[in-house]
Every structure is written in C-alpha cells, then in structure tokens.
Amino acid sequence: MTIENAIELGLAGVILYCRKCHREGAVSFDALALPRATPVPEIARARRLVCSGCGGRSVASLPDWAAYTAPGAGQE
C-alpha cells in the first residue's frame, strides 16, 4: 500500500511504532509531506525517523485504521 492508496481508502495518516521501546504515535500524511508513491511501510525509513522516546531507528509505520471510517459505516 502506498500513501496514495491509503488516502484513496480514506486514511488520514499512519501510526509510527518503535520496536525497541514500544512507543507509538499517530502522524498525518500532510505532516509527513512525502511523495504519494511512497509505500506506507517505508515511511519511517524515507523520513529517517527516530524514536522520540529512546532515539532508536527501528521505527515501524502502520496504516492508522483507528482513524478510519468506511464510507457510510455506522449510518442508516
């Protein structure tokens, strides 16, 4: 999945997760300012993100499904 795909699906951003200290946080695609062809799993590497908690570089980026609502979901 690329950022483009994720936006088309209605996602607004990703969850960044530190594999070392398990810190995590949500960040929007707007804030990342990456090319839309960037694969979502490559976001942390593309931005050379480091964990704000432990300074580790083993940061994973996952689609932020928590903020996702399917079109029409929950509506009659």
- Pick the stretch among 5-13, 21-29, 32-40, 60-68 that binds Zn ion (CB under 5 A): 21-29
- Pick the stretch among 5-13, 35-43, 46-54, 62-70 that binds Zn ion (CB under 5 A): 46-54
Query: Which residues, 6 or more positions from 20, have their beta carbon under 8 angstroms from its beta carbon?
Result: 51, 54, 56, 58
Residue 18's φ and ψ, nearest 5 degrees, are -90, 120
Instruction: Work out how close the CB of 5 gets to Zn ion at its nearest, in angstroms, rounded to a whole number.
Output: 27
Among 11, 14, 16, 18, binds Zn ion (CB under 5 A): 18
Residue 73's φ and ψ, nearest 5 degrees, are -60, 135
Interface with Zn ion includes 17 (CB under 5 A)?
no
